[in-house]
Amino acid sequence: MLRVVLLLLTGTLAAGSAQPGSKNTTKPNILFIVADDLGWNDVGWHNPDVKTPVLDQLAQEGVILDQSYVNYVCTPSRTAFMTGYFPYHVGTQHLVIFPWQASAVPSNFTFLPEKLKGLGYATHMVGKWHLGMCNWKYTPTYRGFDSFYGYYNGAEDYYTHVVATGLDLRDDKEVVKTKNGQYGTYFFTDRVVDIVEKHPADTPLFLYLPFQNVHQPLQVPKRFEDIYATVQNENRRTLLGMVSAMDEAVGNVTMAMKNAGLWDNTLVIFTTDNGGWIAASGNNFPLRGGKTTLWEGGTRGVAFAHGKMLQKTGYTNNEMIHAVDWFPTILAAAGGTADAGIDGVSQLDTIMTGKPSPRTEFVYNIDDEFPTKQGAIRVGDYKLIEGYAGKPDGWIRPDNLTDTKADSGDPFIGTWLFNLKDDPTEHHNLADTMPDKLKEMQAKLAEYRKSLVPAINPPPDPKSNPQDWGGAWSPGWC
């Protein structure tokens, strides 16, 4: 017992002896769950009207991460998760990768599962990719995953699995044409359970589960909508049903891991990829803004860690964590180390024992591409936004950005300085009243900007047309 405690205190979790009830004799299993567009106020531990009993229990038994930051939209956050670099250092800082773009995270970046394979892990992915697919070398099984079951692009119909006239569903490299009419969350969960049941006991498991829920289109089986029968707004009722469907799926995964004897030695990391999209009925109250914006509602994400190896549990941790940190944190849990020079820092001691975060600042985003020319950083308690902060409803409308007022009357292009400790909902712009602090923060942002990599943002490529690839979005055209 003393040996286990010492290993926990020193952060060398992966070298520890077996946890009780676990088949794994060395390294922890790692379950990395990413919800899509899950709002701050769309989980039960923030809002009791949302029915997420499984996630609530995991969060409350583990450690709720109350200052865990992500990027403002999908591709940038997933870049951070998989590489440990801020997207503006990769070229994926501008919006998202669209199906018709010859765009991807460049192949010179080593992905997290590649590192974990080198540490002896089996690596499996089920769900949404959204990191590029125009060439096979950019797809999951070429970037470290032993298996992939899911879709390449950012969204699709939950029942037809079609986006922009093309089918987007793969089992490893093969197009799946047999799931039309079946709800994606159901059969994705079935695949995860199958992976868990077949997993060899002597091999540590890394399972990356980026859910489709709750990204639009808003679709869910009626039994989940019925949980919220008193919610009058139809879109909001559907979205809440999608949250509960995801909660049930997580419950089925955790039960499978328990039945397989893997659970007691499993570290769970749960995070959203960005805030809820207000235009699609996401709710980030009391935070300002949502998905596509640099306001806290778009970038401060719901997150928790869970596992019997955590030494301090049952509390809310307010230490600063950023999406880039999960890469080195997971590697540290697995007994490895990240390469020098990445942007992420290991937060293993922070989530294991509650020690102060090694992070004191981060970059929300830096982008020089219209219409989202922007730069934003946090240093200590202070936050600076310059340029495009984001319209409160989350819509990006290039045709009306000449108007400096959003529909609600809020400005969305300008300069803002906030003290987030005193003003977490960003109501008091200090740019005019604290000129010295403003200059200090602007100098810091200018220094970060020096390392900006130009955004990878090519025009639509007609060679991507799924009708030329058997009706499915397919690699091979770039």
Catalytic site positions:
74, 130
Q: Which residues lie across from 123 on neighbouring strands?
A: 206
The CA distances from residue 344 to 256, 325, 338, 359, in Å, are 32, 4, 9, 9
Neighbours of 467 (CB within 10 A): 9
CA quadruple 177, 243, 29, 110: dihedral sign: positive
CB 323 within 8 A of CB 270: no
Amino acid present at 420: L
By C-alpha distance, which of 385, 369, 462 is closest to 92?
A: 369
CB 287 within 8 A of CB 276: no
Q: Does a cis peptide bond (omega within 30 degrees of 0) precede residue 286?
A: yes
The structure tokens listed for 473 are: 């979005």
CB 18 within 8 A of CB 257: no
Distance between the two ends of the chain, CA-based, in angstroms?
Answer: 55
300-301 and 122-128: which strand pairing? unpaired
- To 10 degrees, the CA torsion angle through 133, 192, 247, 76? -20
Give Cβ neighbours of residue 57 (< 8 Å, ≥ 6 apart).
Answer: none
The structure tokens listed for 402 are: 């000449």
CB 123 within 8 A of CB 117: yes
- Using the structure block, give the residue that is written with the tokens 């985003």: 365
